[in-house]
Structure 1
Amino acid sequence: MPGETFTLTWESAGAVQAWLYLVVDGRLTQGVPVSPTGSRILTAPGALRQPLEYMLLVFDSSGARISRRLRLPLRQCPAGWFFANPPAECPSGPPVVSFAAYQPFERGHMIWIQARDEIFVLFEDEPVHRWRVFVDLFEEGMPESDPALTPPPGRFQPVRGFGLVWRSDPEVQARLGWALRPEHGFTTRIQATARIRSNVLFMEAPDGGIWQLESESSRWLYRPPGSR
């Protein structure tokens, strides 16, 4: 468990030198010299959310070497996921509950998350759905919309923070198109994986479904309420 102290013990035969490595995200960290047979008292990091992995590397007098790895899974995640059928890994922490705003567009969606002060843009104009995120730069007193822009019948110009992103970024405007209806507020929950890199973000949609945002804006998926 995170913060737990444990003893790592190893044995080797015919070895004259040994090095112990912590493996982080598949990569070896700085090794420490240890005796070819011995033990060491270690403490799991308090922020640990992934299995611990170690590698022992031993050499004989001729310089020949051999290694073995040991993977120590977490007994239990310190925090649980807020939705059913979650990933088979620990979240980075408890879900963050936040006020949010949502607006659907002809070819995508915009979501504002108050707790992060960010606007997520989810595109649906390509077979693989991509996404982008923007800092919400809108301040009271700024123009809420552009009166020179007239949407087609049944469509809307986004306003305030959504409108600022939509008007300021030609790619966003071209890819999303016009809004289908005015934005509305709701309460969402947010959680992310706890990997060293390439984390996945999960956000609760207004209908109780889940937006799953893969790392580095590579793609996003929508999981309807109750889906596996």
Structure 2
Amino acid sequence: MNPTTRFAGLLLAALLTLFTGACVAAAVPVVPTPRPTVTPTPTITPSPTLPPNVTLTIPPSPIPPSPTGGPSPTPLFGPTRTPLGIAVDATRPVNPNAPRIEFFTTDVAAATPGQPVNLYWSTRGTTNAVIYRLERGIRNQLWNVAPDGSLSIPTRRSDRGDLEFLLVVGDGTQRSEFELIIPLACPIVWFFVPPPEACPIAEAVETQIIEAPFERGRMIYIGFIDSIDASIGASYTPYANTVYSLFNDGADPAWVAIPNRYDPAIHPEFEPSFVPPPGFYQPVRRLGFVWRGNDIVRSRLGLGTQPEFNFSGFVQTAPTSDGGTALYISSADETVLQLLPAGAVWQIITPP
């Protein structure tokens, strides 16, 4: 070995020994310790303050979308059940052999009271039919008729308003009906204008009328009624030779009718011992006899405000919707007074 090379190897070994010893002497044992826990301190952020002139606007709540139309969902496991108590609409099949009415009519636009009216009809699927005449919705006459044909039915002179007929075929679930309404022409004119909508029962009649105004109403006497037509005169008999007391005190009845019983041969015209205050009058003769003899009439009417008027006027009657009769009377002041049935109402229906 070369002396130089040997020397270099010895020198390297000495240096390594020296370095290793120094590292061992300098090493210090290290004991691990846990890291300190750092607790963060929260930072308080101040709340925003609105200017005094700013108003908060609350956004509207969103509206849930409405379901749109479309086919109903089909159950996966068959049809759903119908709850008990809920009716299911079902269209009954039409029976082609069921009785039916093809037409039911007449040959006039309006019937004349007292003249017959002709009915015509045609039906199918039946061997007979029935025609009813109705009075305010009530069946009061009937005719058993053939499935097809015509029928002449008499009417009364007193018929007013409409004629109502009902054609019926079949029975039970196969029953078919058809109602025919024929208006009645009004052959009679009123004695005043404008006339009421109702048609008079008879022509107006002229008669003696006595009228007197009172503090709370008026009294009217309708005299005897004579007419060339006996049937017309008979229709006014219930209203003739009668004193009517009409009250405007708001109590019931609104008017009363008292048959005239005054006899000038035995009854005084007035009560001499009674002297009314200035400006008032004691009724006399027919009116006075009722006024003196009926306490209710006297207390409700009060005293007369003018002497009685004796004149020739008109009386006429007309049917009401409830089957009664309304009375129309000429008044001394050229108006017309209407008295509804049963003392219900009286009123002035035409201006002076």
TM-score normalised per structure 2: 0.59
Q: CA deviation at 1:165?
A: 0.9
| Secondary structure of the corresponding residue to residue 278 of structure 2 | coil
Q: Does 1:181 align with 2:306?
A: yes
Instruction: Flag the structure with larger Rg.
Output: 2
Tell me which of 101, 106, 112 is aligned to 2:215. Answer: 106
Q: Give the Cα–Cα distance (whole angstroms) in 2 for the partners of residues 86 and 170 of structure 1.
A: 37
Q: CA deviation at 1:130?
A: 0.9
Q: CA deviation at 1:2?
A: 2.6
- Is the 1:189–1:203 contact (alpha carbons within 8 Å) kept by the matching residues of 2? yes
Aligned to 1:67: 177
Q: CA deviation at 1:10?
A: 1.5
Measured against aligned partners, the alpha-carbon deviations of 1:126-156 in whole angstroms (never above 9, x if no partner) come to 1788111111110112122223333222211
Aligned to 1:20: 131
Structural RMSD (CA): 2.2
Alignment of 1:1-228 (within 5 A): 1-60=112-171, 64-75=174-185, 77-115=186-224, 116-126=240-250, 130-141=254-265, 142-194=267-319, 197-225=323-351
- Specify which structure has the higher proportion of strand: 1
Q: Give the Cα–Cα distance (whole angstroms) in 1 for the partners of residues 251 and 241 of structure 2.
A: 29
2:124 maps to amino acid = A
Q: CA deviation at 1:21?
A: 1.1
2:257 maps to amino acid = V
Q: Which has the higher contact order (CA 8 A, sep 6+)?
A: 1
Measured against aligned partners, the alpha-carbon deviations of 1:154-199 in whole angstroms (never above 9, x if no partner) come to 2111111111111111110110001112212112111111458311
2:210 maps to amino acid = A
Distance of aligned partners of 1:19 and 1:29 in 2 relative to their CA distance in 1, 3 Å threshold: same
Distance of aligned partners of 1:187 and 1:31 in 2 relative to their CA distance in 1, 3 Å threshold: same
- Specify which structure has the higher proportion of helix: 2
TM-score normalised per structure 1: 0.88
Structure 1, unaligned runs of 5 or more? none
Q: Give the Cα–Cα distance (whole angstroms) in 2 for the partners of residues 113 and 46 of structure 1.
A: 25
Q: Give the Cα–Cα distance (whole angstroms) in 2 for the partners of residues 169 and 67 of structure 1.
A: 56
Q: Give the Cα–Cα distance (whole angstroms) in 1 for the partners of residues 188 and 182 of structure 2.
A: 18
Q: CA deviation at 1:95?
A: 0.8
- Is the 2:309–2:332 contact (alpha carbons within 8 Å) kept by the matching residues of 1? no
- Is the 2:315–2:328 contact (alpha carbons within 8 Å) kept by the matching residues of 1? yes
Q: Give the Cα–Cα distance (whole angstroms) in 2 for the partners of residues 153 and 161 of structure 1.
A: 23
Q: CA deviation at 1:80?
A: 0.4
Of stretches 151-160 and 168-177 in structure 1, the one that deviates more from structure 2 is 151-160
Aligned to 2:35: none
1:208 maps to amino acid = E
Distance of aligned partners of 1:206 and 1:66 in 2 relative to their CA distance in 1, 3 Å threshold: same
Aligned pairs, number: 224
Measured against aligned partners, the alpha-carbon deviations of 1:20-42 in whole angstroms (never above 9, x if no partner) come to 11112332113222223332122
Of stretches 186-195 and 132-141 in structure 1, the one that deviates more from structure 2 is 186-195
| Secondary structure of the corresponding residue to residue 173 of structure 1 | helix
Structure 2, unaligned runs of 5 or more? 1-111, 225-239
Quick one: percent identity of the two aligned structures?
Answer: 33
Q: CA deviation at 1:111?
A: 0.7
Of stretches 38-47 and 79-88 in structure 1, the one that deviates more from structure 2 is 38-47
1:85 maps to amino acid = P
